[in-house]
Amino acid sequence: MPSQPTPPVDSARLMSIQSYLLAEEDKHPGATGRFTWILSAIGLATKFIAARCRRARIENVLGALGTENVQGETQQKLDVIANETLLSCLGSRAGLAIVASEENEEPLLLRTETDGERPYIALFDPLDGSSNLDTCGSVGTIFSILQHDRRADSPHEAIRQPGTQQVAAGYVLYGPSTVMVLTTGHGVQMFVLDPTIGSFLLVEENVRIPETAKTYSLNEAYTATFPEEYQRYLAWAHESGYSSRYSGAMVADVHRVLVKGGVFMYPPTQKAPNGKLRLMYEANPMAMLVEQAGGKAYSGLQRTLEIEPEALHQRTSVIMGSAAEVDHVLDHLRG
Ligand code: P6P
């Protein structure tokens, strides 16, 4: 009797992101597959970026490039590599009309007409927290997908949509493992890259953020320049036995909050009176994920997703995480 083949280990996990996206597409009769094709491009690009991050020191692509991006921030070599990778993988996708990146001052108009369903817009921060790379810290890619409004007179106008209009959002965390967290508006799914087969595998469906956890995440070095309501919250948290966790990379800090609960904040500071994080390709996609997982996301006393954007690179303050923990902050903001 020939030996039986060894059953696949935990076969329930052998749902790749491609299989998941195709299964989701089947639920939408009339879908042309353009949306799936765009998300697949992000999967391809981020697998390539993950490999480059792992080999950064070996390939001598760590460190600064000696240039600044549109934000006036020092560009890391891998910022540019990650940006070019995403632009290249996304640029070839027929359903995409416009792409916009933290690393590019202007949005890129790829095509004005696409066959079939309404074209899409992809916005991304290609390598958030990239300065962490020099010390082998976690970094990430954040992305947001909007539908293109063809009545818009310009790419800038087409992009200026509140976060509530996002059709998908997600991030890829390049850490001890490479994790993609994705929402298409129907809950949050988590995938882990299996480098032995080069596939993101589904590990958790309908991710739910813990209701509460006594952990806050913000850069306390700026406490003296926070508005006094935030300072009062911090004093309350210290008296209430909270712990602090902060990595300096939004993707890593928000992922920890998504998995363990707590609250991530970047309040207004003297240096960044409107907050430091970018609304369109950092705060909004993260806010959609956190809300889809049952949490809350605010910018001051305004729900982040309801902010009417004025510019592609505009900044905002953020408070996001477990609903109860965000409420503790908002209670202090309300005085
Ligand atoms: P600070 C990284 O530069 C980033 O944009 C986010 O990923 C991170 O949350 C924040 O800035 C860190 O800023 O001022 O604490 O170094």
The answer, yes or no, to whether any atom of ligand 1 lies below 6 A from the CB of 129, is yes
β-bridge partners, 99: 108, 122
- Gap between the Cα atoms of 204 and 198, Å rounded: 18
Q: Tell me how far the alpha carbon of residue 299 lies from the centroid of ligand 1, in angstroms.
A: 16
Establish whether residue 168 lines the binding site of ligand 1, counting it when its CB lies within 6 angstroms of any ligand atom. no
User: Does residue 33's CB lie within 6 angstroms of at least one atom of ligand 1?
Assistant: no
275 CB near ligand 1 (under 6 Å): no
Whole-number pLDDT of residue 111:
80
Q: Is residue 74 in contact with ligand 1, taking CB distance under 6 Å?
A: no
Residue pLDDT, tens place only, 284-325? 999 999 999 999 999 999 999 999 999 999 999 999 999 999
Residue 4's pLDDT is what? 62
pLDDT tens, 213-266?
999 999 999 999 999 999 999 999 999 999 999 999 999 999 999 999 999 999
- pLDDT, residue 108, reads 92
Spell out the residues 6+ positions from residue 94 whose beta carbon is closer than 8 angstroms to its own: 34, 37, 111, 114, 115
pLDDT for the residue numbered 110: 85
Q: What residue owns the CA closest to ligand 1's atom 1?
A: 248
β-strand pairing of 215-217 with 243-244 = parallel
User: What confidence score (pLDDT) does residue 24 get?
Assistant: 87
Residues of the chain with CATH 3.40.190.80: 215-333
The pLDDT assigned to 7 comes to: 45
Give the pair of three-digit tokens for residue 152. Answer: 């818009």
Does residue 137 line the site of ligand 1, with CB under 6 A?
no
pLDDT lower than 50: segments of the chain = 7-9
Output the pLDDT for position 94.
Answer: 85
Q: From the CA of 209, how far away is ligand 1's center (Å)?
A: 22
Ligand 1 centroid from CA 255, angstroms: 14
Q: What is the pLDDT of residue 5?
A: 60
pLDDT for the residue 3: 59
3 CB neighbour count, 10 Å cutoff:
5
| Ligand 1 pocket, residue 247 CB under 6 Å | no
The torsion of the CA quartet 173, 31, 308, 286, rounded to 10 degrees, works out to -20
Task: At 215, give phi and psi (nearest 5°).
Answer: -140, 130
Q: 13-204 maps to which CATH number?
A: 3.30.540.10
With H, G, I as helix, E, B as strand and everything else as coil, classify residue 214: coil
Q: Could you tell me the distance, in angstroms and rounded to a whole number, from the CA of residue 223 to the centre of ligand 1?
A: 15
Q: Tokens 């595998």 map to which residue?
A: 201
Q: Please give the number of the atom of ligand 1 that sits closest to the Cα of 271.
A: 14
| CATH 3.30.540.10 segments of the chain | 13-204
CATH 3.40.190.80 fits 215-333, yes or no: yes
pLDDT at 31: 78
249 lines ligand 1 (CB under 6 A): yes
Point out which residues pair with 139 in neighbouring strands.
174
305 vs 144: CA distance, rounded Å: 12
- Strand pairing class (120-128; 74-76): unpaired
Q: What's residue 93's pLDDT?
A: 85
Q: How far apart are CA 307 and CA 305, in angstroms?
A: 6
